[in-house]
Structure 1
Amino acid sequence: MTLLGVYCFISVPSLASPCPSLPLWPHYNLVKPLSYSKPSKFTSLLIKSHRRICELIDLHEEQVPYELAWSLQKEIVKEKKAQIEKYGDCSDTLIVLQHPSVYTLGTASTEKNLNFDLKSAPFHVYRTERGGEVTYHGPGQIIMYPIINLRRHKMDLHWYLRTLEEVVIRVLSSTFSIQASRQEGLTGVWVENKKVAAIGIRVAHWITYHGLALNVTTDLSPFKWIVPCGIRDREVGSIKGLLTEAQSCVSHGTDYLHDLDDANLIQTTYKSMIEEFSQVFMLEYQNKTISLPMLYEKEKFSLMKETQLG
């Protein structure tokens, strides 16, 4: 099925903001003061010949129900497989969005990591084909679903996971001066003992889907109902929580974050994420407009078609 969409070339805007800088945050090894003046690396609306094209489906301000995003991913994967069979290649796609509160289970998930009865779950629960254990998605968490052809990047799943981690590590360092890291033997991004980004992927015929979730302004309380990613001896953190803690450590009551409301923090993080993603994967974006009402309409049409075929 052909996806509804309108294409246009875009460049990523700068991250300039009037928000004041924070002093150094020694507790979390900040590498420089908090800054929102990082200039964009993109200076042209033209597709650069040495970069692959990536469709950008930007729904980062929307709360897209998990089943709609899941269905969209699988449809795009199907289309890309068909393009590869016909043309030998396909463009890449990046979907960015938020979800309403939901729990998802990966292929390694066991119910022992759920602190509730599935019959009375606090939110919808989906068992998916991605790797990994149980996690939570919700408002204030930016989700990236890259659907890319690894044949044109690197056919190495370990490399792909580490590269997704690198995107988040760069965002935290360059935009928020937070020193993040990897944990040996684990997948994701950490600030000391707190996991701020979870990663779970599926790769079929070297085409990726599912992806990463970065806690920005997320309410972390729903994580208490699960053992996140099956890891019992670690905490979960968010960018807002880390910055708030930084303020309490160094400001002595001065409100350094008074201009940093949730909407501004989401917007700033989003811009940094798509910029760092394009740099790490050497991609240039084309905007593909798909609205939430369009997704609902597509899902309704698909269900009607399945009913007719049945």
Structure 2
Amino acid sequence: MVPAAMAVSVPFCHAVLPFPAAARAPLARSRGGRLGLASCCGAGPISANAVTCAAPVAGAARVGRRRCELFDLHRQVVPYVDSWGWQKSIVERRKALVGIDTDTDEDHSDTLIALQHPPVYTLGNGNDEKYLNFNLEDSPIEIHRIDRAGQVTYHGPGQLVLYPVLNLRHQKKDLVWYQRSIEGVIIRALQSAFSIKAARIDGLTGVWVGDQKVAAIGITCARWIVYHGLALNVTTDLTPFEHIVPCGIKGRSVGSIKQILQKASSGRELNDAELMDIAYESLIKEFAEFFQLSLEPSPDLLL
């Protein structure tokens, strides 16, 4: 029997998770103030100025923007059921603030959680077992049924996962618009940070580089509060994707930022931690800019 993530008791939800000191460490740079990474298109090393840190989009300086708490765990590997418990707890509190009446809205802030997961498969509420290349009882890794839309996908170390909990009453009450907007955020982040030209493919949710899917998106909504989010393959081991048909899309492959950059630079060795930091900083910058949010880093995940 596959455990349902929403039914799992998560006592950790009520604990304080310290903000990791490592996540605040500056990126290592080579001489001349440049990041030690060649751009995808061979235009030379990326300038330190090309990667915008979280600080400029955080805090009260962004007058008129909606507040968004940022829980930065992007260097940590967090069990799936823990992050799922955090989201559920946040959503339940937020639902109480907006109420059932659409004219009632005392919800004054959003939330963004960034992290990585240990190896895990998640099955969306429309999952068909024909997209699994194994029996459910014999899954090679942990597996959970959850309430997001879509089919099966994989999460694991080296994959940057963002869980935005946003009140779309302050954006646009349109789930298709929201998904397309998330795709646009990822596309701009890949271009600005790595000179990778990513794109959408008509009829297929996600972000693609050529025929390879590099980012998956899965969401659900309660009273126009959206949660779950996006998963971007940065330095991910792609082997576990071979045991599934990712997102139920046949005939296409998955890729990662590291794989794409190495191919463009003839196999040059790249620093995994640095790639993750760059991807994280670029992604949250584009996210905050598009949704007009003032990101406020929180030292603790207190739920």
**Contact preservation (8 Å) 1:17, 1:36:** no
2:247 aligns to what?
A: 229
Secondary structure of residue in 1 paired with 2:198: coil
1:270 and 2:280 are equivalent in the alignment: yes
- Distance in 1, matches of 2:229 and 2:146, equals 12
Aligned equivalent of 2:46, options 28, 35, 42: 35
Structure-2 change in CA distance of 1:36 and 1:119 (3 Å): farther
Question: Match for residue 261 of structure 2?
Answer: 243
Secondary structure (helix, strand or coil) at the match of 1:148 reads strand
- Give 1:285 shift: 1.1
Aligned counterparts of 1:44 and 1:188: Cα–Cα separation in 2: 27
* Partners of 2:25 and 2:183 in 1: CA distance: 23
- Aligned residue in 1 for 2:91: 77
SS in 2 for 1:46: coil
Query: Number of aligned pairs?
Result: 276
Secondary structure of the residue aligned to 2:251 is coil
Structure 1: distance between partners of 2:218 and 2:171: 19
Alpha-carbon distance, 1:46 to partner? 2.9
CA distance in 2, matches of 1:13, 1:144: 20
Distance 1:13 1:154 in 2: 36
Contact 1:63 1:139 in 2 (8 A): yes
Work out the CA distance in 2 between the residues paired with 1:130 and 1:60. Answer: 22
Q: Which residue of 2 aligns with 1:65?
A: 79
The residue correspondences of 1:82-231 to structure 2 (distance < 5 A) are: 82-85=96-99, 88-231=106-249
SS in 1 for 2:265: helix
Cα distance between partner residues in 1 of 2:131 and 2:169: 35
Distance 2:228 2:57 in 1: 30
Task: Kindly indicate which of the two structures has a greater share of residues assigned to strand.
Answer: 2
| Residue 119 of structure 1, CA deviation | 1.1
Distance, in Å, in 1 between the alignment partners of 2:248 and 2:149 is: 12
Give ranges in structure 1 of 5+ residues lacking alignment: 249-254, 299-310
Q: Cα gap change, 1:13/1:174 in structure 2, threshold over 3 Å: closer, same or farther?
A: farther
Change (3 A) 1:23 1:122: closer
TM-score by length of 2: 0.83
Contact 1:141 1:216 in 2 (8 A): yes
- Residue 35 of structure 1 aligns to a residue in which SS? strand
Please tell me whether the aligned partners of residues 114 and 160 of structure 2 are also in contact (alpha carbons under 8 angstroms): yes
Cα distance per residue 1:80-132 (max 9 Å; x no partner): 11222385333100010000000000112111100011111111111110001
RMSD: 2.6
Correspondence for 1:22: 38
- 2:164 alignment partner, SS class: strand
SS at match of 1:61: strand
Q: Deviations for 1:188-220, whole angstroms, at most 9, x for unmatched residues?
A: 000000000000000110001100000000000
Q: State the 1:16 CA deviation.
A: 8.4
Distance 1:229 1:208, change over 3 A: same
Relative distance call for 1:2 and 1:217 in structure 2 (3 A) is: closer
Report the CA distance shift for 1:148/1:88 in structure 2 as closer, same or farther (over 3 A): same
Q: Quote the residue 2:4 is aligned against.
A: none
Q: Which residue of 2 aligns with 1:252?
A: none
User: Paired residue for 1:48?
Assistant: 62
1-side partners of 2:14 and 2:61: how far apart?
24
CA distance in 1, matches of 2:114, 2:40: 31
The alignment partner of 2:160 has SS state of: strand
Q: How far did residue 267 of structure 1 move? A: 1.1
- Sequence identity percentage: 48
